[in-house]
Amino acid sequence: MRTPQRRLYERRITVYCQKCKAPKDEGSRCESCGFPDISIRPTADGRFLVFLPLCPSTNARMIPVRRGHYVCDALSPDARDYIASVSAELAPMLLELSIPPIKTWTSLPLWLILPRTSSDCHNFGKLLFDTLERAGAVENDRYLLPHFRGIWHDRDSAAIVKL
């Protein structure tokens, strides 16, 4: 009988922090800079502002991996680390504030602070939605309809703001 293989996202490997490039365990908080720095603030109308670090773009999300005679795509180490570390920080915050997961089609207002003026805002949705699903903010990321409300550019403080 064969033992089941561990999935790629369950393995703990050493990666480099996306913010300060210091080595850290995948899915953990960086000891040098505190990545990921997440905050949730309630608004006057009963909603919540969620501040998340900017995720890797769709262009940097997948890497080719050889599996026998085939070459397939797998998540890059940066993408796996973003999903693991941000969802691990966000999930307890959502439980503490008793925010239920989204279970129906919902328009998701997003404000992006991108590092370059040549960045395409649509390239940051896939990884963000996968992270929100893993954190428990949404039952299935197919229910999210992105609505980009604003895009700013700042090299030093790239972020995603979700309402």
- pLDDT at res. 161: 63
CB 28 within 8 A of CB 85: yes
Task: Examine residue 1 and state whether it is found in any structural domain, yes or no.
Answer: no
Residues 6+ apart with CB under 8 A from 106: 138, 143, 144, 145
CB 112 within 8 A of CB 75: no
Task: Examine residue 124 and state whether it is found in any structural domain, yes or no.
Answer: yes
Task: Examine residue 36 and state whether it is found in any structural domain, yes or no.
Answer: yes
Mean pLDDT, all residues of the chain: 78
pLDDT tens across 16-38, in order? 777 777 777 777 777 777 777 78
User: Any idea what the Cα angle at residue 50 is, between residues 105 and 42, rounded to 5°?
Assistant: 100
H helix count then E strand count, the chain: 2, 9
Angstrom CA distances, 119 to 22, 45, 92, stand at 25, 32, 31
CB 130 within 8 A of CB 83: yes
Count of structural domains within the chain: 1
Range of the domain at 114: 12-162
Give me the CATH number covering residue 32. 3.30.1330.70
The pTM of this model reads 0.76
Residues 6+ apart with CB under 8 A from 6: none
Which single residue is written with the structure tokens 């949404």?
Answer: 138
CB 81 within 8 A of CB 18: yes
Beta strand 144-153 pairing with 106-114: parallel
Q: How many Cβ atoms sit within 10 Å of the Cβ of residue 19?
A: 16
Query: What's the residue count for the chain?
Result: 163
pLDDT tens across 68-109, in order? 777 777 777 788 888 888 888 888 888 898 888 989 998 988
Task: Examine residue 158 and state whether it is found in any structural domain, yes or no.
Answer: yes
Task: Examine residue 144 and state whether it is found in any structural domain, yes or no.
Answer: yes
Task: Examine residue 4 and state whether it is found in any structural domain, yes or no.
Answer: no
Q: Which two tokens stand for residue 13?
A: 């490997």
Task: Examine residue 6 and state whether it is found in any structural domain, yes or no.
Answer: no
Q: At what angle do helices 77-96 and 125-135 cross, to 10 degrees?
A: 50
